[in-house]
Amino acid sequence: MSDPIDTSDFARYLRQRADLGLDEIFLEGLTRDEVLKVVAEARRSAASAAARVTASDSAGEMDADFVAAAASESSSRVLSQSERPGSRNPGYEATPSGQDKPGTEEISAPEVDLTVLNYHELESVAGSCEACQLAQGRTQVVFSDGNPQARLMVVGEAPGANEDRTGVPFVGQAGKFLDLLLAAVDLSRKDSVYICNVLKCRPPGNRDPMSDEIERCSPFLKRQIALVAPEVILAVGTFAAQLLTGANRPLGKLRGSVYAYEGVPLVVTYHPAALLRNAGWTRSTWDDLQLLRQVMDGS
């Protein structure tokens, strides 16, 4: 690694690995002195961090794809950029392939006309929604987290057990990993990200969302997007990606392009929970995050 090391980024990376309970990290390509510098910084800035760093001098085991990925350029393509009148964003046309329709079609909404509600009304109507069977098993509706003024909206799949208990999306292990991924491109839910899900209630046993549940719940998401008016959307996981692109293709085939959801640029990537199970998707996810950053930076 020839570039100067940004020790604060490494410190944050190590803290987040520790938060995730991942207590062993191999730093390939760093000299012993460089590793010691990184570790010293991590210790200074997070005295309580539990990370144990196993360093090898220059070669060695590689378990930190992010370290390597950080040095690489994104190979993804940005497609279909044009100006959208009256928009804060550059406009994006229909899906890149032109084969699938963007996910903007009307779908059956709950009884209330959500399109006339303001943000607080929408949240309140969602809070007492009984439009599908998930209402019976939920502890509470999980509407959103983060900053409603944020430029970026992240859309996940559905609450899990931790989210159902706390009422906050992405607070479990996948959520911590999502925070790590966002931090890697300088984004945080505290200031710069708004987070929500396709489904606002937990499917029992964390099973996949069913199509009628998505149909009944997605009008909430549609109105949420209209009200939050993000400049960019990041869909994580197959369900969010397919719903918002309108394309019924596997995520591996969807990722790598910029779509448009009602004129808002949309990037899709793997769900952090899937990524935790399959480290082989790390490089692709890193590329997707670089693409997201490019779209946000207007480059």
Interface with ligand URA by CB under 6 A: which residues?
A: 156-160, 163, 169-170, 172, 174-175, 197, 237, 273
* Residue 141: Cβ-neighbour burial (10 angstroms; 0-12, 13-18, 19+): buried
| Cα-to-chain-centroid distance, residue 256 | 15
Describe the crossing of helices 7-19 and 32-45 by its angle, rounded to 10 degrees.
70
Nearest to 37 by CA among 18, 61, 11: 11
Shortest gap between Cβ of 178 and ligand URA (angstroms)? 8
Report in angstroms the alpha-carbon separations of 162 from 138, 140, 205, 209, 299.
12, 11, 12, 17, 37
Of the pair 160, 230, the CB lying nearest ligand URA is at 160
Shortest gap between Cβ of 275 and ligand URA (angstroms)? 12
Q: Any alpha helices (H) in the chain, and if so which ranges?
A: 7-19, 32-45, 65-70, 119-127, 134-137, 161-166, 173-184, 211-228, 238-245, 251-254, 272-277, 282-297
| Cα-to-chain-centroid distance, residue 139 | 24
**φ, ψ (nearest 5 deg) of residue 156:** -100, -160
The answer to whether 178 and 170 are in contact (CB under 8 A) is yes
Shortest gap between Cβ of 189 and ligand URA (angstroms)? 11
Shortest gap between Cβ of 87 and ligand URA (angstroms)? 28
89-100: b (≥16 Cβ within 10 Å) or e: bbbbbbbbeeeb
Shortest gap between Cβ of 263 and ligand URA (angstroms)? 25
DSSP state of 70: H
Of the pair 112, 276, the CB lying nearest ligand URA is at 276
The answer to whether 68 and 176 are in contact (CB under 8 A) is no
Shortest gap between Cβ of 152 and ligand URA (angstroms)? 16
Of the pair 169, 219, the CB lying nearest ligand URA is at 169
Of the pair 97, 162, the CB lying nearest ligand URA is at 162
Nearest to 65 by CA among 298, 278, 229: 278
- Could you tell me the two tokens for 163? 């989210």
Shortest gap between Cβ of 74 and ligand URA (angstroms)? 24
> Which residue is at the shortest CB distance from ligand URA?
156
Single-letter amino acid, residue 144: S
Of the pair 159, 265, the CB lying nearest ligand URA is at 159
Shortest gap between Cβ of 230 and ligand URA (angstroms)? 17
Of the pair 49, 155, the CB lying nearest ligand URA is at 155
**φ, ψ (nearest 5 deg) of residue 44:** -60, -45
Of the pair 34, 157, the CB lying nearest ligand URA is at 157
Of the pair 42, 180, the CB lying nearest ligand URA is at 180
